[in-house]
A = this chain, B = another copy of it.
Amino acid sequence: MEGLIMNYPLTTNTILEYGNSVYHHKKIITYLPNGTRHEYSFGDMYKRCKQLANALTQKFGISKGDMVGTFAWNHGAHVELYYGISGIGAVCHTINIRLSGNQIEYIINNSEDKVIFVDATLVPLLEKIAPRLETVEHYVLINAPEDFKTTLPNTIHYEELIAEQSESFDWPELNENDACAMCYTSGTTGLPKGALYSHRSTFLHAFALMAPNAANIGNTDIVLLIVPQFHVMAWGFPYLCLLAGATMVMPSSNLNPDAIIRMLQAEKITKANGVPTIWLGVYHAMKMNPPKEKLALQEYLVGGSALPKSLIEGFEKDFGIKGTHAWGMTETSPLGTVSRLQTKHGDLPESEKLVVRAKQGTAIPGVEIRIVNEDGTLAPNDGKTMGELQIKGAWVISSYFKTNNQESFTADGWFKTGDVCTIDTDGFMEIKDRTKDLIKSGGEWISSVALESALMAHPKIKEAAVIAIPDEKWVEKPLATLVLVNKEDKVSADELIEFLSRDFVKYQIPKDYYYLDEVPKTSVGKFDKKEIRRLFAEGKLI
């Protein structure tokens, strides 16, 4: 017997219509690549989504299931693309601008994008590969000067495209399981793989994020969306903010620490998201040049890789700003876990509270997590046993786009993350490593993440990346690459070994330290250990 409840599909159109009906007066503020500030309302944005929908269907002949690419920074127009493309039943494929030309070429051909919307400043990246793009019929130029010159074929300016369209458009009836958006993984191993989200997964993920235990965002928040829209849909924040009625501030390419600090101040930002690299930079810039007035920023949500405990502590002690750890992947929409203190932690000393907060946290409702031993058996949630993290839930992919390869999924329907972690008795998960980054020395596992986090707590060290290198006696041993806060202010290996010996036993501590100007990063800002291993193998670490 079924419940007698209305059929109400959970779609991005529902989100857009809700945002317009209840929060039409709320603002989207963009700092454009040229530095100018643009502001308009959800209501204005709503009308432009409808104009875009008319343009897509009538001018370009885009229909349900077609792929439409975006190659753009975070800004109002990109939000319109999220809603306008998905709204007509097409798929909004956000292309990661930081991938290599080869990878970008591959994913555009693989996804079969028919139209690509591209920021003027990013056109040069596409021009190089455009001749080899097999399916793209039109390029739409965003924020381009009128006399903009490009070798891209069949171009039209975004403003011109929508200006001629009507502001009225009836959204088609969509099934909530229809595809809505696609992101490719960053492809650090092998080719990028497409994660194809549904309307339902997008809606539920954004719904889950509002909760106080998750991103905790409501209608009095002003949110800075630092996570790029080309990176796992900006963690769902462009949807979340319409549901929550929160003001959105979009930085486009203004992502250096000083620019971010200026936006935090000028817009009275209350919440923000971003990867650790961003927050590392902001923290050091703020230490160098402390803001005269306390920022309105209450909390930043950080994920993508582990945020060192020392940074969580520093931000809070020095500036009264709370860092909240989250964990997720492209394959999980992305949010899987968030680390928030619970009532029972209230009596812990601050140092132990910090240990809890430095974990990746508990699953949020809508997903489940477990850890599994190498032989496939369930590992215990004892906070000690490491196992591969597996996840299932309402916004986790069931397979990759255009492949029948199910090797990332278990027979009983869980996604194998490739992350190695522990889960404690209270359900708090802590990432220890990527499977491929674990160091196995003398038969024991060493966590590169734990070493990096400890090294980054040293006052002179800004970034640390640890890899495994071959060792005759122990099979593997750790090697650390370091970036100094002040380049001239080196630290001796002996001092570092002494420093680490507080938390690690002898065999776990690296003997080899190398200094870099910058740790190589992947397209999404994570430490690129493949590149560090290459530098080491080629004798280029000195």
Q: Interface of A with B (CB < 8 Å)?
A: 1-8, 10, 14-15, 17-18, 21-23, 25, 64-65, 91, 175, 177-180, 195-201, 204, 207-208, 210-213, 216-220, 222, 243-245, 247, 340-344, 362-363, 365-366, 368, 392-401, 413, 415, 426-427
Contact = CB atoms under 8 A, between A and B. Distances in A.
Contact of A212 (B175, B178, B212): B212
Contact of A211 (B14, B218, B401, B427): B218
A395 B3 CA distance: 10
Contact of A2 (B8, B198, B212): B198
Contact of A196 (B4, B8, B366, B398): B4
Contacts of A392: 6, 8
A170 to B, nearest CB: 13
A130 B32 CA distance: 73
B207 A6 contact: no
A179 B18 contact: no
Contact of A4 (B64, B208, B397): B397
B18 A365 contact: yes
Contacts of A178: 1-3
A1 B93 CA distance: 14
A333 to B, nearest CB: 8
A215 to B, nearest CB: 10
A343 B427 contact: no
A410 B42 CA distance: 29
Given A363-B21, A365-B18, A400 B211 contact: no
B3 A197 contact: yes
Contact of A368 (B18, B65, B394): B18
B4 A400 contact: yes
Given A394-B8, A398-B6, A219 B343 contact: yes
Contacts of A65: 1
B365 A401 contact: no
Nearest to A206: B365
A218 B220 contact: no
Contacts of A200: 3, 5
Given A243-B365, A363-B18, A395 B5 contact: yes
Given A212-B212, A212-B216, A213-B219, A180 B3 contact: yes
B208 A25 contact: no
A196 B10 CA distance: 20
A470 B122 CA distance: 74
B212 A342 contact: no
Given A207-B208, A365-B18, A394-B8, A3 B177 contact: yes
B5 A398 contact: yes
Given A1-B178, A243-B365, A393 B6 contact: yes
25 contacts: A1-B91, A2-B179, A3-B179, A3-B198, A4-B400, A5-B394, A5-B396, A6-B398, A7-B398, A8-B366, A10-B394, A14-B365, A15-B365, A18-B363, A25-B426, A204-B207, A207-B365, A210-B211, A211-B243, A212-B244, A213-B244, A216-B218, A219-B340, A220-B341, A243-B365
